[in-house]
């Protein structure tokens, strides 16, 4: 949907700055195309090197098809992994490494022409970027790539740390915390890394939180109807007083969605007959869990399209599909389904009429894509923000979440249970109807006077009036 801007003034020039991983890159690329199609000049900052091949491949193809968006490449300062303690998750290390290199951007951004009006940066570098922006005398925004619900938890974190010895421990880890305006949140949904002061993730978050009070605005990839409770809690200062203005501008969308999924097998399947299984860009199930999932798919008797990942970082993922799930499974299920290893266009798949359900880890981009495209979810969160995101799916009512399945690989979920879950997902008329309703609400948020579109347009106009 291309929307022409109505208010007068020179086009604003904005810099967009994501951090590491496809889950952070995708929403920034979407925001870039949405702002560009509404008349903004965009400079998109990309760091070298990237952690995954998916990031570098995606960036090359994006800039070749979007020549009007300028790419500003930026070489990270060299670092040793050991500088970052004992957790060697390469994505977490990259968050820190990018934050430590931000000052190098000053000369690159100060000489841009026309000069910048603002920078929109990932939360995980917001603190160093807001210092940089203040030196450059430009406005600073952040784009939250997770749910408003998870963001509320993040901003409540300092308060939570103070409560640790009281309410949190009173639950013995099985209890609930009360987030003002959000009601009870199960402690077991909070990623343990966030509660561990020595964890690199907790350190990155707490370093960047103070900047949230100084920013010009906080964009979130969500929409009012979808997460009204959390948005209200953030707006009313319930979870933290004096936050920058909250701008739910989602669901962010790509413009290439209409393109074919490029899977002739899918084109031959009956409408809403295929279950799509994917755990995002950086989550690998154990070999045992992969085996149980293959058993479950076969037992469900349902048509399936499964994107298989065996390693967290794609560059390390060298085995073939047959080495992982076995030739005999592939032979037996030849007519029933497809297993793909490698990058697929997930949005195009979710948009395909043959897809009737989505077994998802509930990465926030996956959740918002399923919402926008009206696909019900079987939530199988694995780590990070995914349980809190699954709570949103459950509350909105367009998905199932079987909490007993555990997360972080703590339990092996058996094939029979997986088959039951998939059957329930694919047979539920209620979920399907609710997913269509969610799709309609997402569409309305993006209409010209819709809640998200109004905020995005208001933001662009505010830059124009400052020119
Ligand atoms: N994605 C995709 N193809 C793949 C794997 C992932 O297009 O093969 C996209 C997916 O549509 C989403 C993003 O990559 O936009 C992954 O983000 P999400 O928040 O769902 O999960 P994460 O990868 O961060 O765990
Ligand atoms: N982790 C993993 N596999 C993954 C993603 C994360 O083993 O695909 C590990 C990671 O190394 C980290 C821990 O799980 O030490 C907790 O990760 P977290 O839940 O914080 O991940 P996030 O989703 O926030 O990136």
* 172 C-alpha to ligand 1 centroid (Å): 34
Which is the closest atom of ligand 2 to the Cα of 201? 20
Q: How far apart are CA 101 and CA 325, in angstroms?
A: 42
Nearest CA to ligand 1 atom 13: 23
What are phi and psi for residue 144, nearest 5 degrees?
Answer: -85, 125
Q: Ligand 2 pocket, 282 CB below 6 A?
A: yes
d(C-alpha 432, C-alpha 222), whole Å = 21
Please tell me the distance from the alpha carbon of residue 455 to that of residue 112, in angstroms, as a whole number. 27
| pLDDT at residue 45 is higher than 70 | yes
**Cα(67) to centroid of ligand 1, in Å?**
24
The residue whose CA has the least distance to atom 9 of ligand 2 is: 89
Instruction: Report yes or no: 125 and 205 within 8 Å, Cβ to Cβ.
Output: no
Catalytic residue among 24, 66, 199, 361: 24
Q: Which ligand neighbours the alpha carbon of 28 most closely?
A: 1
Range 229-236 average pLDDT? 94
3-state helix, strand, coil in the chain (%, to 5): 50, 15, 35
Q: Is 417 a catalytic residue?
A: no
For residue 192, report the distance from its CA to the centre of ligand 2, in Å: 10
- Closest atom of ligand 1 relative to the 342 alpha carbon: 8
Beta strands in 29-107 (DSSP E): 41-48, 70-75
| Secondary structure (H, E, C), 88-109 | CCHHHHHHHHHHHHHHHHHHHH
CA of 467 to the centre of ligand 1 (A): 36
Which of 52, 90, 144, 383 maximizes ligand 2 atoms within 8 Å of its Cβ, making it the mutation to test the pocket? 383
Least confident of 38-42, 164-168, 203-207, 327-331: 164-168
| Residue 24 appears among annotated catalytic residues | yes
* Residue 164 banded pLDDT, cuts 50, 70, 90: low
Q: What is the mean pLDDT of the chain?
A: 91
Ligand 2 atom closest to Cα of residue 88: 11
Model confidence pLDDT, tens digit, residues 283-328? 999 999 999 999 999 999 999 999 999 999 888 888 999 999 999 9
Q: How far, in Å, from the CA of 362 to the mean position of ligand 2? A: 14
Residue 283 Cβ contacting ligand 1 at under 6 Å: yes
- Residue 280 Cβ < 6 Å to ligand 1: yes
Q: How far lies 420's CA from each of 114, 336, 354, in Å?
A: 58, 17, 21
| Residue found under tokens 């990465």 | 363
The H or E element containing residue 276 is strand 274-278
CA 283 to ligand 2: nearest atom: 8
Lowest mean pLDDT among 5-14, 249-258, 305-314: 5-14
Q: What is the value of ipTM here, to two decimals?
A: 0.90
- Is the separation of the CB atoms in 71 and 44 below 8 Å? yes
**pLDDT, greater one: 104 or 259:** 104
- CA 363 to ligand 2 center in whole angstroms: 12
Residue 247, H or E segment: strand 246-248
For a pocket test of ligand 2, which of 193, 206, 386 has the largest count of ligand atoms closer than 8 A to its C-beta? 193
Q: What separation in Å is there between the alpha carbon of 26 and the centre of ligand 1?
A: 8
In this predicted model, what pLDDT tens digit does every residue of 368-392 receive, in sequence order?
A: 999 999 999 999 999 999 999 999 9
Neighbour order of strands in the sheet with 217-220:
70-75, 41-48, 13-17, 118-122, 139-144, 217-220, 246-248
pTM: 0.94
pLDDT above 90 covers a percentage of the chain that reads: 77
Contact present, 66 and 33 (Cβ < 8 Å): yes
Please tell me if the CB atom of residue 283 comes closer than 6 angstroms to any atom of ligand 2.
Answer: yes
Confidence at 6, pLDDT banded by 50, 70, 90: very low
From 94, 338, 346, give the residue whose CB has the most ligand 1 atoms within 8 Å, as the site to mutate. Answer: 346
- Strands (E) in 404-459, as ranges, are none
Q: Which residue is catalytic, options 13, 58, 66, 122? A: 122
- Ligand 2: does its nearest atom lie under 6 Å from the Cβ of 217? no
Asked if residue 448 has pLDDT above 50, the reply is: yes
Q: What number does the ligand 1 atom closest to the CA of 21 have?
A: 24
Cα–Cα distance between 271 and 303 in angstroms, integer? 11
The neighbour count for residue 233, using CB atoms within 10 Å, is 24
Q: What is the DSSP letter of 243?
A: P
Nearest bound ligand to the CA of residue 307? 1
Question: Rounded distance, CA 324 to CA 339, Å?
Answer: 11
């Amino acid at each position: 949907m291309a929307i022409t801007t109505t208010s007068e003034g020179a086009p604003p020039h904005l810099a967009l700055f994501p951090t590491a991983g496809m889950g952070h890159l995708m929403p920034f690329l979407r925001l870039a195309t949405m702002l560009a199609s509404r008349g903004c000049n965009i400079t998109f900052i990309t760091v070298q090197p990237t952690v995954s091949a998916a990031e570098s491949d995606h960036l090359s193809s994006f800039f070749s098809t979007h020549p009007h968006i300028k790419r500003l490449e930026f070489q990270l300062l060299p670092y040793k992994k050991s500088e970052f303690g004992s957790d060697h998750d390469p994505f977490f290390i990259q968050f820190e490494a990018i934050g430590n290199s931000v000052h190098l951007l000053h000369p690159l951004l100060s000489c841009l022409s026309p000069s910048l009006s603002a920078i929109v940066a990932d939360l995980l570098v917001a603190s160093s970027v807001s210092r940089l922006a203040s030196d450059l005398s430009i406005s600073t925004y952040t784009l939250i790539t997770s749910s408003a619900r998870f963001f509320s938890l993040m901003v409540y974190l300092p308060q939570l740390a103070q409560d640790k010895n009281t309410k949190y421990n009173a639950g013995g880890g099985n209890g609930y915390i009360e987030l003002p305006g959000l009601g009870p949140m199960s402690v077991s949904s909070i990623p343990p890394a966030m509660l561990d002061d020595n964890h690199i993730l907790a350190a990155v978050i707490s370093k960047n939180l103070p900047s949230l009070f100084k920013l010009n605005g906080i964009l979130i990839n969500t929409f009012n109807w979808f997460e009204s409770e959390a948005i209200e809690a953030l707006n009313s200062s319930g979870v933290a007083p004096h936050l920058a203005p909250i701008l739910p501008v989602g669901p962010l969308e790509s413009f290439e969605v209409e393109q074919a999924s490029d899977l002739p097998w899918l084109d031959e399947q009956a409408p809403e007959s295929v279950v799509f299984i994917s755990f995002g860009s950086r989550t690998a199930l154990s070999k045992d869990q992969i085996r149980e999932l293959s058993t479950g798919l076969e037992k469900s008797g349902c048509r399936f399209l499964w994107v298989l990942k065996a390693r967290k970082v794609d560059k390390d993922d060298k085995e073939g599909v047959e080495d992982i799930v076995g030739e005999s499974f592939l032979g037996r299920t030849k007519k029933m389904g497809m297993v793909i290893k490698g990058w697929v266009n997930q949005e195009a798949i979710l948009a395909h009429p043959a897809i009737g359900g989505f077994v998802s880890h509930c990465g926030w981009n996956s959740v918002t894509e399923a919402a926008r495209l009206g696909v019900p979810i079987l939530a199988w969160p694995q780590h990070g923000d995914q349980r809190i995101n699954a709570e949103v799916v459950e509350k909105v009512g367009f998905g199932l979440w079987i909490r007993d399945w555990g997360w972080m690989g703590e339990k092996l979920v058996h094939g029979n249970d997986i088959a039951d879950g998939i059957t329930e997902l694919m047979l539920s008329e209620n979920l399907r109807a609710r997913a269509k309703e969610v799709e309609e609400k997402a569409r309305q948020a993006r209409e010209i006077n819709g809640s998200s579109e109004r905020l995005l347009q208001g933001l662009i106009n505010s830059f124009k009036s400052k020119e």
